[in-house]
Amino acid sequence: METTALGKTGLQVSRLGAGLAEIGALDDLSTASRVLNAALDGGINFLDTSPWYGKSEEWIGRSIAHRRHEYVLATKGGHDADGHESEQWTAKVVLDSIERSLKRMQTDYLDLVQLHSCGLEVLERGKVIQALLDARRAGKTCYVGYSGNLKGARWVIDSGMFDTIQITFSLVDQWARWDVLLKAEAAGMGVIAKRPIANAAWGAPASPDPVREEYRQKAQAMIDMGPIRRAPEDPILLALGFVLAHLEIDTAIVGTANPAHMKVNSALVESELPIPAEVVRELHRRFDQMARR
């Protein structure tokens, strides 16, 4: 699979990454192991997890720790996942979380630790950022990042203290295209796209889940503008092709608890991309038109 540099970190990451929230909900180590090994065997080397993703970190340690040299390991920190401390977003919570992540994933270092969706007031106080930087100096993590919303991403980029950002970006949520992607690239930051397939919203039926339904309605509004010439029929290929056409994005993380789906996603990215540039431009136009309504 194609790889690219994650900003200025020096890490080479696969354009398709694995988001590991879904495997955290599994009670079966065997299935989790097959998902993780399918990712590595398919050329995916960027694994994104979190202490808040159920058993995800535990499954990583118990199934692929022996393959540690094959993957870039990213996790998150900031607010407590195990009830160890009532106050959230403190230096102690960040450092304790890192120590637990190292133990669970059976590794002596993390490639990337990201603050997990904290607000501007937390960033501006600076204590959790200092804790991340202390962990980097101590060799617990090689790099530090932020995973969150557009306002937080803009602050993080301007601060110059972070190596990466993780931001929502998809064919139905293109807001980051207007400033964040370009600013991050100019700053030499690695960019990780989360929710790149928008919960498989393109052409999906109505859903009782409010997030899925919001994405579906946006997708339907774009679909209703008419056929897109030369667009792939496979909605997952269309979604991934759109996101990865933006070269500011180094890797796009997709999650699944199904080993077969992991293999299919890897094959799509490896053999079916890029999608036509005219399709990407048309999706830009349709989103911009929808956003102006």
pLDDT digits (tens, 9 = 90+) for 18-70: 999 999 999 999 999 999 999 999 999 999 999 989 999 999 999 999 999 99
Residue 233, pLDDT > 80, answer: yes
Q: What is the pLDDT of residue 89?
A: 81
Catalytic residue among 53, 71, 143, 215: 53
Residue 125, pLDDT > 90, answer: no
Question: pLDDT by residue (tens digit) across 70-93?
Answer: 999 999 987 665 655 456 788 888
Cross-strand bridge partners of residue 9: none
Provide φ and ψ at 252, rounded to 5°. -120, 125
CA distance 211 to 195: 11
Q: What is the pLDDT of residue 50?
A: 93
Q: Where are the domains of the chain?
A: 3-198+236-275
- CATH tag, 3-198+236-275: 3.20.20.100
Question: pLDDT by residue (tens digit) across 168-191?
Answer: 999 999 999 999 999 999 999 999
Q: Is 53 a catalytic residue?
A: yes
pTM for the model: 0.94
Q: What is the pLDDT of residue 82?
A: 60
Asked if residues 50 and 116 have their Cβ atoms less than 8 Å apart, the reply is: yes
